[in-house]
Structure 1
């Protein structure tokens, strides 16, 4: 089958390890099944894998990709939940399983014509969502959903700041927060991306680091070092920063005096559960919210998508079709 794989690790030039070509179909352990992939989405996780983060050289070659939607062995249209873990080991939450992994870390990923996953990882795809839209959900959109509605503790009418408008999690957070009735502020260095953020539902979009019209209840933080100080300064006393990424660097000044004096909360968030993915899909149907797709490419042109993500040349998700 045709697939996109990591064949070498190169932290400085990750795309040197990107290969597209024929690979064996995945093994199917007991309790697993296969999905014929109709659409798969690209994530920063795939770039990090090519740099060797979470993917050691002894696992190569590894088919990349966490996100897919397709058709299962019984002909059902499904979304693939990419967290491979046991809820029982995580106190009911598979993302807290100490042994959990994502597709493409220990098991072949979704940038292929077929992917194998545990049967419990399949979520029905609503008819209202296309395969391309559904493929956007399992990582970026699920992460944003969990950050907003679980970790941030927000109520209707709450205010949030989304740093770094343009990325997959950020665009998902803007759209979901707007659909939920929050006051949404977004930041970006790009004027074009600020305009797109407002079209997506942000009440205001400002330059990175600009003073907000008000201090917000929560910040959705995926950028890290470059925006961390601004995120802290933008919170009301008692507010929360929910962190799911650090694309600009992972060691910002902590500014602990501000954290303790204003009683701020810093909360980590990773992915989401299978049940949250199912609820996310229902939420999108109910609110008629559609995932924003930057571009759709055939899987044979995956390198173009990786190059766009590496260069920050995107707004929304990049989707591949086998």
Structure 2
């Protein structure tokens, strides 16, 4: 089968769209013939984490397709079923943190940037009918990350004020849609005027330039909840906008992972700082129920054929996208 494989050379130069042997499902596993896949920032990081001394690896975490083979003992799906892939491996029930053996599809195990993938049967979930193949293929990792950050960790309730710095990413667009569906007032930032305008179209109550004075833009407003995925470049700006007793949930550090802040101001403010990553299988099913109830669909930036991976990776590396970048496979 054809796949996007990382091998022999560290970094982007080690990627090649080439032939690789397809696998057969073992007991408790299924094989999915993929219709599409979704690109995430994690895929960029994988190119440095997966070393040239490691065995060749098919990268990619998001995907959807049709079950074409099942292993012994599989009962939750049948050959011919349309499924969406939950990329989280080994985290079944919701818990304070993932178990020690938690992994994500695409590293260290083969991922979704291929014509076929073998995964544990429990990670093949029936595709919501209202989603197209293109939409289902890019949904899982970003939507699950956003769902856990907002609801499990952030305890979002209707009427809360929420700030989402850096609205361009796939997770951020889900955060905006989820928070509005839950009845929150949502503020977003971006360095891009175009992305701010798009956020307003998606329902944001206010969108403003990340480079301006946030306090001046939000005069008289303090946030109940801030979802931070940018990192050092915005963390202290976010902290300035938090109400006493408010909460920051962080799951990313694309603009720096080391932050200094005034600890005295933090504890006098009675602030809460929570980390979050991905989510459990239980939360994944809750998230799918939530998007079906509210008919939420991914915001798709562009879709490339898998053989056009260079253009897709370059677009994400330059942060030019608004929403999800997808790959068509068939």
Give me the TM-score of the superposition, normalised by structure 2.
Answer: 0.91
1:69 shift after superposition: 0.9
Q: Which residue of 2 aligns with 1:201?
A: 203
Q: Does 1:7 align with 2:7?
A: yes
Q: Does 1:237 align with 2:250?
A: no
Aligned partner of 1:210 among 204, 214, 230: 214
Q: Which residue of 1 aligns with 2:62?
A: 67
Structure 1 distance, partners of 2:265, 2:133, is: 45
- 1:206-233 superposed Cα distances (whole Å, 9 cap, x missing partner): 1115222411111111100100001111
Q: Does 1:313 align with 2:329?
A: no
- 1:70-121 superposed Cα distances (whole Å, 9 cap, x missing partner): 111311111111111154xxx7549611011111112100011111110111
- For residues 14-53 of structure 1, the aligned pairs below 5 Å read 14-52=11-49
Change (3 A) 1:9 1:182: farther
Equivalent pair of 1:83/1:94 in contact (CA under 8 Å): no
Q: Which runs of 5+ in 2 are unaligned?
A: 69-78
RMSD over aligned CA atoms reads: 1.7
Structure 1 distance, partners of 2:121, 2:138, is: 20
- 1:28-75 superposed Cα distances (whole Å, 9 cap, x missing partner): 3431111111110000000001122xx344434211100111111311
- 1:126-149 superposed Cα distances (whole Å, 9 cap, x missing partner): 111111111222111110011111
Secondary structure in 2 aligned to 1:59? coil
Q: Which has the larger radius of gyration?
A: 2
Structure 1 distance, partners of 2:51, 2:161, is: 41
Change (3 A) 1:103 1:127: same
- 1:277-307 superposed Cα distances (whole Å, 9 cap, x missing partner): 2222222222122110001111111111111
Equivalences, count: 314
Q: Which residue of 1 aligns with 2:121?
A: 119
Equivalent pair of 1:243/1:267 in contact (CA under 8 Å): yes
Structure 2 distance, partners of 1:33, 1:144, is: 27
- For residues 251-270 of structure 1, the aligned pairs below 5 Å read 251-270=258-277
Structure 1 distance, partners of 2:249, 2:48, is: 25
Structure 1 distance, partners of 2:95, 2:84, is: 19
Q: Which residue of 1 aligns with 2:102?
A: 100
